[in-house]
Amino acid sequence: GWKVFYQTSSTMLKGKETCDCFRKDGPMSRSTQTTLVENRYFHLAQHNLSVTYLQLFGVLPMRGHWPTKECRTKPQGVDGCGPETLAKPEIARGLHVLEDEEYATYLGDGKFDWTGNHVEALTKIVPSLGADALFINLGLWVPTGEYADRKEIEATYRAAKSAVVAHAGGRGQAFWKRTTTSLKCYKTGGKRCNPGDKREVRFFVDKEPVALAKDMGVGIYDTAEPTRTLPWWTWNDEVHFKPFVYRELNNLLFNQLCNSPKASA
């Protein structure tokens, strides 16, 4: 179940991460939608390296709890509890493996310290993280299969650039992450795609975000094109690849970051 997944992945990171995570087992329901959350805060002190994942799940609002334990049950503004608890020193101080008690109590009670759409999260939450690289990815969750709301995209990019420009001496960079392809498999048996099954590779349509990214100085991390022609057996299911594919996509990302003009400035 989801608890096992969250706790196992948290344990594998050996106390270097705080997992603000909860999801009820079973099919998606209204109760599940109102309580699910997955935000992860990873910090490796010896390398001054932080990686944060804030979940945007379809049309549901983004939401979360302050990661420091003493603030998780206090509203914003009480005893200094607020976005400032997302600063690197505070994150580093509260790192821990996900515990049974916290999962069973305040992580799953449907009460959140912050909530809002993704533009609000970029404006009010992300700046406190001190990010010098920010990746925006809507994944496969846009209801229409195409993200083409020009005004919203422009607002997203402005908020994203503002959130990183104050850090890293003005060398912060916002990126639009193009989504990996998905595989529609017309299965003849079992849960997995078999060699003889009819298969159809599907793409998330993002022409508008790509075009605006170029106009507005936002980088593009493209995981769509590299996965366009991969064979069926590289998928673990219809939307997730096997680990070696993600390792190669990470290599592409590292090369892009290390060879960018801002990295060598």
pTM of the predicted structure, to 2 decimals: 0.90
Residues with Cβ within 8 Å of 213's Cβ and at least 6 positions away in sequence, in order, are 157, 176, 219, 220
Mean pLDDT over residues 163-173, rounded? 73
Q: Residue 118, exposed/middle/buried by CB under 10 A (0-12, 13-18, 19+)? A: buried
Q: Residue 199 — very low, low, confident or very high, per pLDDT cuts 50/70/90?
A: confident
For 25-80, the pLDDT digits (tens) are 998 888 889 999 999 999 999 998 999 999 998 888 999 999 887 887 677 778 87
**Alpha-carbon distances, residue 107 vs 91, 100, 149, 225 (angstroms):** 17, 10, 33, 37
Chain-wide mean pLDDT for the chain?
88
Q: Residue 209 — very low, low, confident or very high, per pLDDT cuts 50/70/90?
A: very high
Assess whether pLDDT exceeds 60 at residue 263.
Answer: no
Assess whether pLDDT exceeds 60 at residue 139.
Answer: yes
Tokens of 148: 């083409």
Assess whether pLDDT exceeds 50 at residue 265.
Answer: no
Minimal CA–CA distance to 52: which of 140, 101, 121? 121
Percent of the chain with pLDDT over 90: 57
Q: Residue 2 — very low, low, confident or very high, per pLDDT cuts 50/70/90?
A: very high
Residues with Cβ within 8 Å of 13's Cβ and at least 6 positions away in sequence, in order, are 42, 97
| Residue-by-residue DSSP string for 200-223 | EEE--B-HHHHHHHHHHT-EEEE-
Q: Residue 264 — very low, low, confident or very high, per pLDDT cuts 50/70/90?
A: very low
